[in-house]
Amino acid sequence: MAKNQFIAKFESKSDAELESIAMNSRSFVFEARYAAITLLKNRNYKATIIEQVELEAEKRSKAKNEQIASLNKQDHQLITRIRQIPIKGTWKYRLENGNELQVKRWNENTFQVRIEDNYRSSLAPVIICNVKADSTYFCYPFFYIKSILTYGVGLTVLTTVLFFLGYFGSDKFVLLFPILGSVGLQLILMPFIYFITLNFFKKRLGNR
């Protein structure tokens, strides 16, 4: 196991106190109980609780390894699926809530992931998925460029026309409002949309 911080804390305790800690799973976390039996073993102390905690440690380690293997399998499944998407192509996956998960392949190892819900998602950011190996990838939030070009630039053109027609006075800063608003909204939404999209991405494509 990794370095146990409880070893130093428990060194001054008696054998009886350590045995009591090892047996008390309600009051002490497992790391504390394992530290207790470690000290008892170093003192050549004999007690059935030592074997019991060691067996529990083996079961925990096995469960953790199985969980890691399961996650690696899911990641491999996800990567296998998105690698079937042709470069510049977009594949769409229906979600249980009626929305649509869209995965667009930019190049060999880079994918854009977003959720389409027909109206609100057009203003939301996306996530970028970079594949590193058959079962390794990392994701990060990014601007939805199409939205910025559509709303930011489009409304900027409209605002410019209205500005020269005299609808906004003489303050030229108003011309930046559409593009700043579009970028700002996506920045605000990034933390929320990132985790929502990533969750659906993993569940929809990482499971058989």
Q: pLDDT (tens digit, 9 = 90+) per residue, 67-79?
A: 999 888 989 999 9
The rounded distance, in Å, linking the Cα atoms of 43 and 134 is 47
Q: For the whole model, what pTM was predicted?
A: 0.68
Would you state the pLDDT for residue 173?
59
> Which residue has 């007690």 as its token pair?
47
Q: Which residues pair with 102 in a beta bridge?
A: 92, 114
The rounded distance, in Å, linking the Cα atoms of 13 and 79 is 51
Least confident of 41-50, 55-64, 99-108, 178-187: 178-187
Residue scoring higher pLDDT (29 or 170): 29
| CA 135 to chain CA mean position, Å | 15
Q: Is the pLDDT of residue 147 over 90?
A: no
Phi, psi of 132 (to 5 degrees): -105, -35
42-45 contacts at long range (C-beta below 8 A, 24 or more positions apart): 43/15, 45/15, 45/18, 45/19
Residue scoring higher pLDDT (18 or 206): 18
Q: What string of DSSP letters covers 21-45?
A: HHH-TTTS-HHHHHHHHHHHHHTT-
The rounded distance, in Å, linking the Cα atoms of 50 and 38 is 8
Tokens of 199: 């969750």
Task: Select from 81, 192, 82, 185 the least CA-distant residue to 129.
Answer: 82
| Contact partners, residue 189, CB within 8 Å, separation at least 6 | 123, 124, 125
Convert the pLDDT of each residue in 70-111 to its tens digit.
888 989 999 999 999 999 999 999 998 889 999 999 999 999
Where would I find the H helices in the chain?
A: 6-10, 15-23, 30-42, 48-82, 145-147, 154-164, 177-206
